[in-house]
Amino acid sequence: MTLGELKRVTLSMFRPPSDMTVSEWADKHRRLAGMGSSERGKWHTDRAPYQREMMDAFSQRGVHDITFMTGAQIGKTVMMSNMIGYTIDQKPGPCLLVMPAEDDAENYSKERLAPDIEATPVLKEKVFGGNANTILMKKFPGGFISLTGAMSPGGLKSRPIKILFMDEVDGYPASAGVEGDPVKLAMKRTQTFGSGAKRVCTSTPTIKATSRIYKEFLHGTQEEWEITCKHCGEHSSIQFDDIRFEKTERIVNENQKEYEVGNVRWRCPKCGGEMEEWEAKRAPAKWVAYNPEALQKAGHRSFHLTSFSSPWATWKEICQKFLDGKDDPEMLKTFYNLELGLPYEHKERTILPEGMYLRREHYEAEVPKGVLVITIGIDTQDNRLEYEVKGWGRKDESWGIQYGVIPGRADEESTWEQVDALLDRGWRLENGKTMKAAVTFMDAGGHFYDSVVEHCAMRRMKRIYPIRGENKETGTLVRHTKSTKKGLNLFLLNVMSGKRDILYNAGITEPGPRYMHYPDNEDAGYDEHYFKGLISEMEKPVKKRGVYVMEWVKIYERNEPLDCCNYARCAFKGFKIDLDAYERRLYGEATIQRAAPIGKPKKPKGLISSGIKI
């Protein structure tokens, strides 16, 4: 420590803390560096007035817990940064910031915390340099802030903490290693400071049954940001049910329509009067608590806010996201979570395997009209492979073509000879042409990982790829990676999301977008056992290590049809495929380009079937 730093530390120890609130401190001192934010320069709380009370709860006497359950583009991370800056400058003490993963903590430190400390003079003056200032540790007179990931039990169990920040808690794992719930582990570290401790918990929510932030919100004051209606003078929060908009149809091509949003306004639920977006965002507003006793009983203030109040999101953009995703359960869930700031509750459809069996239909050919692409999903068992050949059209409409079994182990050459026959087979269309599978995904889990990866690599020209499942609540449906075996191709599938989509689609009873067709030809393999296997699992909250997590539970022992369907669907969804070009080619027009993995366009290469290149 230099002589200058020692002098500053000594003087700061005798400086009494001010009675400044967090928002007053931020308005006076805070400077935005502009990294990780669309704005830079002097901070102005009035830019988003709802932030004032949310931040000031941190400096309010008698408040020990603060919870933010919000949509995206609300500024919750920058509000947390203001609380950290206020702590360093005004009320120093030992602090801990927990993020879902250590990489998240490092990125926050490098892209937000460090640049903003450098840009804010009162913080730059106090945060030590040298070894006392690392990516995951910042020391200052009277305290420090340690940053860690929720998967690091060591970072959650060390020294006592006075102030705890937990960001995006719905993204935390169920357990930090084998130690248990990371939220409970982190909170235990504040016990030493008793009523002097403060805990800040923020997140966009996920699934209602398992959402940590929703549970914390219910424990608090449950405050909503309510605007004043210009017509009746009453206060109401902006709920999506009260948003009105017009939609204009736009023809993309002869088979596809899209809708564009226009004339968005808010309708007051008290009087029915309407207000434009600019009027609603400028209207007088206040926070209203619906569980006010939580403040006196537990010192816990909780806030909920939708993106409709954000100055960085337009109502038209928000409503467009709803229109684009309303028929897709995953996109609808994302809309609830990121735009409405609400946990999503899955609505189970009553799907009976017998009903799906009875609605089978007659195909005029092996590949019926509407199919533009064929994919295959192969499930690997100890003594056999099960597979499904699936046809795909527009808007996720699908046609089952063949379900079958290949006897034998995945490490036997005779088994792979039968796989080759499946990959090389042409499936007949009504016009006499044939199609081969554009992509095949094969399960590499279980005992035959090395064999599946190596045999798929030997057949890369036939576009068969090994896959493994990931049990993740959110994330990309299909991720390309490399296997640890010689760096060969491997795809990781979000199987939870995929199964959820399949069961949603299975409940659709009218042909069209997302509908699942099946042939009544007994030789195609779609018997009663197939449909029982397709509807063989259901998603339920299961308690593990004291925390509820969503898991898929079997209701029928044989679930291979569900897995095969999932793999075939991911093979279709995981690649960019020009369906217009496929359709033209199938009916004798221009040459089609080869399908390339998402984000990695490729040049045309290789014939997959008679005249059809992918």
Domains of the chain: 3-222+291-307 (3.40.50.300), 353-613 (3.30.420)
What is the pLDDT, as a whole number, of residue 582? 82
In this structure, are residues 55 and 82 in contact, taking their beta carbons and an 8 Å threshold? yes
| Cβ contact 427:405 at 8 Å | no
Residue 275 confidence (pLDDT) above 50: yes
- What is the pLDDT, as a whole number, of residue 486? 65
The mean pLDDT of 486-506, rounded to a whole number, is 86
Contact status, residue 92 vs residue 226, Cβ threshold 8 Å: no
- pTM: predicted TM-score of the whole model, two decimal places: 0.75
Decide the pairing of beta strands 464-470 and 489-494.
Answer: parallel
pLDDT for 17: 56
Most confident region among 33-42, 55-64, 166-175, 462-471 by mean pLDDT? 55-64
> Which of the pair, 547 or 129, is modelled with greater confidence?
129
What average pLDDT does range 582-602 have in this prediction?
Answer: 54
Please report how the helices 560-573 and 495-506 are oriented relative to each other, as an axis angle in degrees rounded to 10.
100
Per the CB < 8 A criterion, the answer to whether 324 and 330 are in contact is no
Distance of CA 358 to the CA centre of its chain: 36
Q: Give the position of tokens 């094969």.
A: 442
Say what the pLDDT of residue 15 is: 55
Check pLDDT > 80 for residue 613.
Answer: no
Identity of residue 548? Y
The yes-or-no verdict on residue 497 having pLDDT over 70 is yes
Residue 261: CB atoms within 10 A of its CB come to: 20
User: pLDDT tier at 6 (50, 70, 90 boundaries)?
Assistant: low
| β-strand partners of 164 | 96, 199
pLDDT of residue 347: 66
Q: What is the pLDDT of residue 476?
A: 82
Most confident of the ranges 127-141, 344-358, 371-385 = 371-385
Task: Give the tokens for residue 588.
Answer: 């004798």
What is the pLDDT, as a whole number, of residue 252? 57
Amino acid letter, 501:
D
Considering only 250-254, 345-349, 432-436, which range has the smallest mean pLDDT? 250-254
Residue 608: predicted pLDDT: 29
Average pLDDT, the chain: 86
- Section 157-173 average pLDDT: 90
User: Quick check: 377 and 354 in contact, CB under 8 A?
Assistant: no
Q: What pLDDT band is residue 257 in, cutting at 50, 70 and 90?
A: low
pLDDT tens by residue, 95-131: 999 999 999 999 999 999 999 999 999 999 999 988 8
Tokens representing residue 603 in the block: 């040049």
CB 184 within 8 A of CB 164: no
For the segment 336-343, the average pLDDT, to the nearest whole number, is 94
Please give the structure tokens belonging to residue 496: 């939870």
Q: Under a CB-based contact definition with an 8 Å cutoff, are residues 273 and 231 in contact?
A: yes
Residue 255: is its pLDDT beyond 80?
no
Q: At what angle do helices 22-29 and 76-89 cross, to 10 degrees?
A: 90
Secondary structure (DSSP) of 398-414: EEEEEEEEEES-TT-HH
Q: Is the pLDDT of residue 40 over 80?
A: no
Lowest-pLDDT range, 279-293, 334-348, 520-534, 594-608? 594-608
| DSSP 3-state of 540 | strand
Confidence band (pLDDT; 50, 70, 90) for 595?
A: very low
Q: Is the pLDDT of residue 604 over 60?
A: no
Report which secondary-structure segment, H or E, holds 613: strand 612-613
Percent residues over pLDDT 70 in the chain: 87
- Among the listed residues 188, 159, 197, the one whose alpha carbon sits nearest the alpha carbon of residue 65: 197
Q: Cα separation of 262 and 201, whole Å? A: 36
- First-to-final CA distance of the chain: 64
R_g of the chain, CA atoms, integer Å: 28
Highest mean pLDDT: which range of 261-270, 475-484, 554-563: 261-270
Of 116, 145, 150, the residue nearest 133 (C-alpha)? 145
